[in-house]
Every structure is written in C-alpha cells, then in structure tokens.
Amino acid sequence: MRRNQNGQPELLDEEQNGQEEEEQEESQSQQIYHSGSVTPEGGRHKIHCLTIIGQVEGHYILPPQNKTTKYEHVIPQLVSIEQDSSIKGLLIILNTVGGDVEAGLAIAELVSGMKTPTVSLVLGGGHSIGVPLAVSAQYSFIAPTATMTVHPVRMNGVMLGVPQTLSYFDKMQERITGFVCQNSRIPPERFKELMMNSGELVMDIGTVLDGEMAVEEGLIDSLGGLNEAIEKLYQLIESQPDKEEPEDPPAKGAKKAQAPGPKKKPAPAAPGKKSPGRPRKKREAAAALPVMPPLPPTSQAGTEPPPKRRPGRPRKEER
C-alpha cells in the first residue's frame, strides 16, 4: 500500500479489484442466505438463479424443522427480474415435494407470463405442485435420476363432508390439469390417466415418472443437467430481438416539429401583372341593382273605408 501527497493510503489496482471481488462474494452469500437465489457474474450473459426447494409454503407457516420455499419471497423476486434490464435470463432449479396448491400456481403463472427467457431444471424430485412449476418455464430439463409424482389434489385436516367439497376439489384439479397441459406436450386425457393410476403407489393413487418417462410422456422437454440448462438459456437470450427504446409521445396539443430547412419564397410576379390576391367584394355591382318601390298597403277584407273629413265653415266672400 502506498500513500498519496496528503499522506492518505492509496490502493493499487490489484487491491481495488480484490476488494470488489470480496464485496461481490459477500453480497452473493447474503442473497443466498436470505432468499435462496443468486445472480452470478462473469458468464456470457447475466442470469438469475432461483431455487424452489423443500415444501412450497402458502398462507400457513409450517413448522421450523421443515425446509420451505416461501411464495411471498419468490413473487417479488420474479417481478424484480422482469423489470431489471441487466438480467437477461432466469434459471429455476427445483427439488420440491410440493406444497400449497394456490401458492404454487401463483408462482407458476408468474413464470409463464414473463418475457424474460426462462429455463427450469428438475433435480431430485418435482412432485405434486412441482409439476406445474417445472413446466411453467419456456424450456424444461430433468436429470435422469430425478422423479416427478403426478397425483390428484389432496387435503389434510378437518373437512366438511358435503358435495360442495368434492366440487371444490374437482374445480381445483381442473385448474392444475389445464395449466400443465397448456404449458407442456402431454394430452389432458393421458395426464388424468396418470393421476388416477391406482396400481403403483401403495398408500395413494398416482404415478411416479423418472426422467426418461417424463420426457416420453411429453411432460418435460428434454433430459439434461446444469450445463445443458445454461446453454439453452443462453440460446433463448441470444435469439431474442434487440429491444428498442420507445420514443416519448408528444404532449397533448403540441404541434409536430418540422425539420429545419430553407423557407420557400413566393415566385415573383410577371412585370405588368399584379399578383393574384384575395378577390375584393364588388360593392358597385351590388349598388347598381334596381331598387324596387315599396308595395302599396293591401286593404283587408271586411274593413270600412276611412271616414271623410268634416266640411268646415264656408269662407266669407270678399266684398
């Protein structure tokens, strides 16, 4: 370390780079600790890595010994990623046993509606509500050793034994089925058949799909690992058209600005001729028109003639 003219310590370029790297590592470690996500630097493009692990926690807080993903932490991250122009892609890594249906669907709907390129990678397992989360990305991968459990909606706890409860379950199941089939290549009939399979699970109904079976059924796009997922995300980023900044709209009532240029002068009139102008009003012609005399008053029918004047005294004769 050297000192400047004022005696203050001056850092070298190597020391400054070392301090910047330490600050970046510290911020990334804090980001991983608080939100389970990281925005790595140094790649071909800047991407954000979001992990959905354990159980998706919904409106009720789970016990502290459960490994959970809180949807109130994930949703603001997705909004921030979509608005941050420096982040070019999103990588979602899943290892989840499922969880709250509405919380999982909320996250899946946000991911499917993002304009930022997204790629999902299923590691370990993507069970229950993890299936919609896996297919919500633009392209999905699954490791060969990973599994996905497809089963109908279940609920534990006190429930009302009325027909309306079964109708509610049926509607919720239709929401999940419609979302999964809309964002993957599996037909709805086949997806329902896998859900209602009663010959595979011992204590439940449904189907467990490994990596190859999930790709064959059309639920996941391709087999792969981390390298394949990142390369596919880079391809989606590079295939996007360049964004052009929109021009500010003109203010209301403002006139359009004209391009500066030489003003056109009027052509000179020929000698002896006056330039045409606005025609004058011909007052003389209007005055030359004949004036019609006023019409005599018409006598009304049934009216008496005016009375004659009373004769006065005769004048005296001059003597």
Q: Which residues participate in catalysis according to the annotation?
A: 128, 151
Instruction: Give the pairing of strands 37-38 and 47-57.
Output: antiparallel
